[in-house]
Amino acid sequence: MLLITSCNGQTQNNNSYDKTKRVGGDCEKGYCDLLYLGMPKEINSVDTSPGWFERGQKLIVSGTVFQIDGKTPAPNTIIYYHHTDNDGYYSPRNDKQENQTRHGHIRGWLKTDKKGKYTLFTIRPAPYPNTQLPAHIHLLIKEPDIANEYWIEDINFDDDRLLLPYIKKRPSEKPRGGSGIVRVVLKDSLQIAEHDIILGLNIPNYPKKASGKK
């Protein structure tokens, strides 16, 4: 299978670089553009989503974003996230225009600190009702020196009973930005997960090259 489509209509292409093409390959019309809708002027390395204040299992996701070599921290990288609510819906909220789009109201932005670190406080998303897709958090990346944004692997949870059957049905592919599957640890009433990202890894048309050691 040469073309793989995710639940967002994102497409996976080969990893050749062509300056006339979009970094990251195609992105469904209007989907990636929502990264910019409502984006604040100042973005921090720590963000608390609207979901944190709603019913659901509280979740903390933290990690480091690295350059393509997999070792050098990548500061000032914007991570945009959005995910379903505790019922599995991208539910709208009427307070702002950006909270009434297909991304729902549990959405936000992080910008890595000088060590490439970020931390997100949110709730555990629920899977879509009446489907076999595992619960996930969608991620888009905007690097400071690349013109356009691009999507990377969703965050999936290793204890999700829907995950293994889903993986078995998927065609073999190289994960964009590294594996999105995170190990969930319970601490008191919190679930905690670590998720590192490698910029450009398996990203079509990426203008930088790995060292060859990674």
Residue 213 lies in a domain: no
Do residues 66 and 72 lie in contact, with contact meaning Cβ atoms separated by under 8 Å? yes
Which residues in the chain land under pLDDT 70?
Answer: 1-20, 210-214
Residue 192's closest CA among 169, 165, 158?
158
Domain residues for the domain of 100 are 4-198
What's the number of domains the chain is made of? Answer: 1
Amino acid letter at 2? L
Model confidence, pTM: 0.89
Residue 172 is part of a domain; what is its CATH number? 2.60.130.10
**What pLDDT, in 10s, does the model give residues 131-156?**
999 999 999 999 999 999 999 999 99
Assess if residue 204 is contained within a domain: no
